[in-house]
Amino acid sequence: MKNLWDAAEAGKCKSDLELRVYSSRLLGRDDTLVLHGGGNTSVKVREKNAAGAEEEILYVKGSGWDLETIEVDGFAPVRMAHLLKLAQLEALPDPQMVNELATQVTRAGAPAPSVETILHAVIPHKFVDHTHADALLAITNTDDGEARIQEIYGDDVLVVPYVMPGFELAKVCARRFKAEAKPSTIGMVLLKHGLFSFGATAEESYGRMISLVERAENYLKERGALDSPISPMGPIGPMRVELAKLRHSIAQSAGFPVVLSTDADPKAFAFARASNVREVSQRGPATPDHIVRTKRLPMLGRDVKAYASSYREYFARNAPRAKEKKTMLDPAPRVILDPELGMATAGRSAKEAAIARDLYSHTMDVIARAEALGGYRALSEEELFEFEYWDLEQAKLRRAGSPPVFAGEIAWVTGAASGIGKACVEALLKRGAAVVGLDLDPKVPGVAARPAYLGLQADITSAEAIGAALEAGIRAFGGIDMLVLNAGVFPAGTPIASLESSEWRRVFEVNVDANLTLMRECHPLLKLAPRGGRVVVMGSKNVAAPGPGAAAYSASKAALTQLARVAALEWGKDGIRVNTLHPNAVFDTGIWTDEVLETRAKSYGLSVDEYKRNNVLGTEVRSRDVAELVVEMCGPAFSKTTGAQIPIDGGNERVI
């Protein structure tokens, strides 16, 4: 554990709040302390309000902000006086507490204050830092966790038994503080939850957090419990159909499509293959913070039906405890442990799946370390259930609203590095899909820098390369819902009299043969798309209206169109729709340089602009326009359409 405080950097901060931002970001940079929005921090300052009265304000992390990237605006200013009054109440139901916090914020538009706000308020120090440090959880989550904490920290910290986060926890902490805190107290350990540190300055509070966690790490190191075991992946054959089946059944159980991400983490393999995984992984999550996003316990093996039914039993068992909590979350797993897959995680988006992966990756560390100390103990089933069905969590789910149209779905686009393909990638990402882009161009991985995008360099004329790309893409996202067959070549004009057979074959190899291989290899995967597979084929105006000098191109696109029509006939029974677009004169692509455009325009006696708009509507057709039609054809508006051919050319007299 490294103290990252940099006096020069800190010196640039002009206020306590800016220092609060600075040291919060230092905590956020270490994923063994806080993960994905976990943890929270605060600072108490005196401010004059508009009426000239001075009041004490607690700036506390707002929900929806991540410590790693938090800014001044990420802190909610709440009136301390009211918070301290609330802390005196006997009881305060959580929804009411949230209302009280929101209505005591002094800046309109500020984010909702953390549910741990009252806890921050009752700690009588200027700066307060709170993390869910892995090393600490490994120690508190053992049978004799409390004794171990005493041994490590002695009187330096207060120890609070597990209480569900919210008002009740704030009350318990306030009581402990009053009764037991000494001038030398620098922190507070919440068993099976996390760690608080505090101090008069940002540096002091941060430094104490780091030194407290360091002491926990040293304790683990001395007992040989710090490092998690690892196991190499080993040779595993093609898994793509297996993974797509698994994703399909998770989606069935959840009631919506999901992204399923698998990664070759040697730590996950060791964990999934350990002889005691069946038992130890079911003992519960390391901290309530992790339940929120990984949801319940991991699934072992790939039997989603059995998992879902045991989840329903768990719900039934605990339902009386939840009383009014009528809503039941979907019974689908979010974390899957399997000796062959290692760890796979599911989510409504690639980001959600990645969050579940990161959280469980840290849980595995906590479990492995606690086991090395003598045995992992976690939140009980009751505690787990209470938290999962917590009013505030349920409210958060309700607030989330309706997801984007392609949430949880995966689209594959060939020829993704530029032009229409790149525009399709962007349009699909915008609508919530995870996207795999294929291209011969080595620039393809850089088309989008987001967890929902994977760019793979691949030569689609090689069946081997297609197989490898499918394996990699399915490991990343779990399936194929939409396939956009866009890659193609557009050779220079050559009259038939001088057309070489080799050139003819080269054009067919890319424009037809490669698409046949892709369709054949993708068919078993498209069949498993939870909402039915969709294929969009990039044809050409030349299919209906060929041009002289474009024999190979026009014939290849005609063959491809015919291939798509047959696919529409054959695959309808599998719920797969296959439609073809016929674009024309899309000039914002790689092949149309300014120079080529000018020469072409001149040969027709037109300006470049006139040439671009040389169609019935007098409009320019851009890559983005084609991409918008592609996503439309994958969406609900075209759900009853297959085998269709649609021009996107501004209207062409020879086609109409």
Any idea what DSSP says for residue 69?
Answer: G
* Residue with smaller CB distance to Zn ion, 75 or 311: 75
Q: Tell me the residue nearest to Zn ion as measured from the CB.
A: 194
Nearest CA-CA partner of 141 in 372, 355, 335, 334: 372
* Residue with smaller CB distance to Zn ion, 194 or 539: 194
Q: How far is the CB of 287 from Zn ion (least distance, A)?
A: 7
The upper half-sphere exposure of residue 489, i.e. CA atoms within 13 Å in the direction of its Cβ, equals 21
Q: Could you tell me the sign of the dihedral formed by the alpha carbons of 213, 218, 224, 226, in that order?
A: positive
Q: How far is the CB of 21 from Zn ion (least distance, A)?
A: 19
Any residues with CB less than 8 A from the CB of 268 and at least 6 apart, and which? 337, 342, 343, 361, 364
Structure-token pair, residue 364: 């595995």
* Residue with smaller CB distance to Zn ion, 287 or 486: 287
Q: How far is the CB of 119 from Zn ion (least distance, A)?
A: 9
- Report the relative pairing of strands 187-190 and 157-160 from DSSP bridges: parallel
* Residue with smaller CB distance to Zn ion, 194 or 285: 194
Any residues with CB less than 8 A from the CB of 476 and at least 6 apart, and which? 261, 262, 350, 434, 436, 454
Q: How far is the CB of 170 from Zn ion (least distance, A)?
A: 12
The crossing angle, in degrees rounded to 10, of helices 551-571 and 514-526 is 20
Active-site hit among 44, 325, 422, 557: 557
* Residue with smaller CB distance to Zn ion, 365 or 439: 365
* Cα–Cα distance for residue pair 249/449, rounded to 1 Å: 30
Q: How far is the CB of 196 from Zn ion (least distance, A)?
A: 9
Q: How far is the CB of 354 from Zn ion (least distance, A)?
A: 21
Q: How far is the CB of 380 from Zn ion (least distance, A)?
A: 18
Residue 242 and residue 304 in contact, taking contact as beta carbons nearer than 8 Å = no
Q: Which 3-state string (H, E, C) describes 109-133?
A: CCCCECCCHHHHHHCCCCEEEEECC
* Residue with smaller CB distance to Zn ion, 104 or 287: 287
Q: How far is the CB of 281 from Zn ion (least distance, A)?
A: 22
* Cα–Cα distance for residue pair 294/562, rounded to 1 Å: 46
Is 557 a catalytic site residue? yes
Alpha carbon distances (Å) from 454 to 45, 482, 556: 45, 15, 29
Structure-token pair, residue 437: 């882009």
* Cα–Cα distance for residue pair 21/42, rounded to 1 Å: 9
Residue identified by tokens 């994703």 is: 247
Q: Which residues bind Zn ion (CB under 5 A)?
A: 194
Active-site hit among 61, 553, 611, 612: 553
Residue type, 612: K
Is 541 a catalytic site residue? no
Indicate the SS3 state at residue 413: strand
Residue identified by tokens 């090689």 is: 462
* Residue with smaller CB distance to Zn ion, 128 or 627: 128
* Residue with smaller CB distance to Zn ion, 285 or 530: 285
Indicate the SS3 state at residue 35: coil
- Could you give the residue numbers annotated as active site? 553, 557
